[in-house]
Chains A and B, each alone.
Chain A
């Protein structure tokens, strides 16, 4: 597997994400697989932001362990990132902005002074056009064909036609030719590698998966890193016929979704840990009224407001325990955009099948970073059966009828003869309360217990129909990584790196974090020799869950809670310690 990584850094407001995304898209159109990391801070202007596009003829699933080209829009970008450059690397900068001598850089790294501001002045007085010359020079070094860069830039401006597109095309050509005249391509530059890939963020994949699963209603309150789910869905609301409601708060967001689901549309909400904390009571109401709802919880560093723009897997305990009392739920934890797309389809299927809330655990690392997906991995042809499945016959209808599976026939308001009241109080098979004048009366004491049994028995059914633990890699490896969610990506990259050094490892991952099918999990662990739990939180929350559910204790751990994503070399180093 060959790879090249391009970084661009500067201040918020400099257009860093836009440059980075364009470079990433050039690579994905070359048919390369890409991991695009968008690192930013909770400021709108200033500070330090950076983007890295890591492209490969293999399949990178993490930011990787180094970069080859750094386009620095300010001096502090050089100070922060020069050490990450691999031998043969180049720093693209404009000497009109700050001086940079070869001696300022690590051995083997060269500066390339590109007159980006001077180039920009040929076209306009707007200094933002300096990015044109910069991206042109960067593209040359990275092996991106100039025509491809121009296509990507033109497409990215889209309907904003006019001189700005021509200026960018002109400036980027000038920068490209300048670099061609003054430097060689990077030694790691890659050639086109087949059909263009799809480049998407986890949140785009989540929204796309929801729409494919038949979601017609999304209510949400803005909160990083879940917000762009709403952005994508809102942009496609009219064309796809999905109602998108920005609610007054997360309390309203989840209640609107539950109300819409009750009235017959597949519905969802999305938030991060803070907003999810506000949704906790409603989650129990969905469980009690047996109303399907899908909730995406995209975690960020906590506790409290924490680090709003940094990642963590610290909300697993919260998701497991959210809500007073006990009710069935599931927590799905995709690792990549391709998996997130399918996880949403599974989530809507499970919510519908089991009439209970289903959580999809994402995190900032998955939600906001970019990965490529092969077009064949996205199957839009998902069955979306009608929700009106109970015949309107007017006979005695029991909304909460006791059944073997715990699932009762669900009528939808508007159907004649099937009227019922969905109650968040304990109720009987009709939906009539047993919380007031019947509470504590012997017949209704046993009815309450049967109703709890009915709801809770769905958990076994969910465990059987949700995706179980997955082994990846050679069966007899001396070390098995155990991971869930976006951490899986860095583990896969670490496994590749270990394999290239002759070390065999495998991975046991959990696309469904809860409920765990005990027998399946025990059988999986029976095949392991030594394990390493890799989790993005302080206390090893999944390790605790695993021990509680199965008695299996994983003593070797790599836990990270500094806000940053796992990097392959960190996992490799810890693996070598325990092997």
Chain B
């Protein structure tokens, strides 16, 4: 789905069209927020792939990180809490010539939106989902999130979290995602590779990003991750090996892996949906002109 200019019949052929850059809206995140690294990586990945900005749609839900679409020059849909993925899926099915990204936080994707997360992955919809995982609710000023650490004290858990955190990587592997990666917003170059490869991957690409909240999470800080992360690419991990990916997904503690856990080729939902074989739905004929024979079934 790279470099496509087939998203609209009016797109010029051979005419260089602007690629995705910054919009004229400045991010409103706290100084030092991890999400700056993520928007930079997404922008660079889209630039590297030379996808025209009008062929890109970035879809988000609600939360600090879900403001991201406003900071890029592509099309965007900034919807409601937890529902970015079904909107993104609908966009893909309406026009699979478009490059569609979902962006959001851990509360948005693994809390209120957990059901959609699982189902979008099992469908292998061809889109890229980037989560800015800060293990806290930031925009609502610091409550526990689905990925907050056991025992972590927050405004909603003054005596410490007493629920096990979700492991987004393991959940993605279990749900059938065909590209499962983890990045760190403290390493934008590495993250850019993961996002760019995810966009190029044919199928559901999930990139969970450690994107520290500098205001409300004093545990999972930039330093916390800098001291612990190591790259799977440098550790001899084979991303075609699902069992190895499972084992790596369970690693947490002094050493935490980032990089590509798993990648596999499987037909996408769009490829398996017979109606879409005739081209993007948005450009297919509509209505029932001349289809009077259709009424015979009611006689």
Contacts and interface: CB of A to CB of B under 8 A. Distances in A.
Interface string B95-106: 101100000000
Interface string A242-266: 1101011101110111111111111
Interface in B45-97: 52-55, 57, 59, 62, 67, 69-70, 73-80, 83, 86-91, 93-95, 97
B77 to A, nearest CB: 5
B91 A260 contact: yes
A496 to B, nearest CB: 25
A325 to B, nearest CB: 12
Contact of A415 (B8, B86, B276): B8
State which size class the interface on B falls in. Answer: 35 or more
A29 interface: yes
Contact of B86 (A215, A242, A252): A252
Interface stretch (A64-72, A131-139, A422-430, A483-491): A422-430
Interface in A364-420: 373, 375, 378, 380-384, 387-388, 392, 412-420
What are the 3 A-B residue pairs with the smallest beta carbon separation, nearest first?
A: A259-B90, A421-B76, A414-B7
A191 interface: no
Given A241-B285, A256-B89, A420-B76, A263 B295 contact: no
A24 to B, nearest CB: 11
Nearest to A432: B25
A421 B77 contact: yes
B77 A216 contact: no
Contacts of A243: 93, 273, 275-276, 281
Given A238-B274, A242-B275, A388-B8, 6 more contacts: A262-B90, A264-B95, A265-B282, A384-B286, A413-B98, A436-B28
B294 A380 contact: yes
A interface, size bucket: 35 or more
B237 interface: no
A256 B59 CA distance: 12
A264 B282 contact: yes
Most-contacted residue by chain B among A204, A248, A383 (CB, 10 A): A248
A260 B57 contact: no
Interface string A272-304: 000000000110010001000000000000000
Interface centre among B9, B77, B116 (most CB of A within 10 A): B77
Contacts of B281: 216-217, 241, 243, 260, 265
B90 A256 contact: yes
B276 to A, nearest CB: 7
A12 interface: no
B17 A198 contact: no
A229 B37 CA distance: 46
A56 B70 CA distance: 62
A82 interface: no
B112 to A, nearest CB: 9
15 contacts: A211-B287, A214-B287, A238-B275, A241-B284, A241-B285, A247-B86, A248-B116, A252-B89, A256-B87, A259-B77, A259-B86, A260-B91, A285-B83, A419-B73, A422-B79
Nearest to A412: B282
B299 A217 contact: no
B10 interface: yes
A263 B292 contact: no
Interface of B: 7-12, 17, 25, 28, 52-55, 57, 59, 62, 67, 69-70, 73-80, 83, 86-91, 93-95, 97-98, 115-116, 118-119, 273-276, 278, 281-282, 284-292, 294-295, 298-299
Contacts of A199: 298-299
B218 to A, nearest CB: 24
B59 A259 contact: yes
A237 interface: yes
A432 to B, nearest CB: 6
B97 to A, nearest CB: 7
Contacts of B290: 380
B58 to A, nearest CB: 8
Contact of A414 (B11, B93, B287): B11
Contacts of B28: 436-437
A208 B288 CA distance: 9
A419 B87 contact: no
- Chain B interface helix/strand/loop/mixed: mixed
Nearest to B118: A248
A267 to B, nearest CB: 7
Nearest to B287: A384
A260 B93 contact: yes
A215 B275 CA distance: 13
Interface in A333-390: 373, 375, 378, 380-384, 387-388
A219 interface: yes
A155 to B, nearest CB: 9
Contacts of A381: 289
Most A C-beta atoms less than 10 A away, residue of B12, B67, B78, B274: B78
A387 B282 CA distance: 9
A200 interface: yes
Contacts of A215: 286
Contacts of A260: 90-91, 93-94, 281
B94 to A, nearest CB: 4
B90 A415 contact: no
B298 A200 contact: yes
Contacts of B80: 281-282, 285, 424
Given A241-B275, A255-B90, A264-B282, A419 B75 contact: yes
B89 A380 contact: no
A8 to B, nearest CB: 21
Contact of A198 (B74, B284, B295): B295
A217 B62 CA distance: 26
B88 to A, nearest CB: 6
- Of A257, A264, A413, A422, most buried by chain B (CB within 10 Å of CB) is A413
A36 interface: no
A238 B98 CA distance: 22
Contacts of B97: 414
A329 B285 CA distance: 28
A243 B281 CA distance: 8
Contact of B91 (A197, A262, A266, A433): A262
Given A259-B91, A263-B98, A432-B25, A241 B54 contact: no
A534 interface: no
A248 B90 contact: no
Nearest to B82: A251
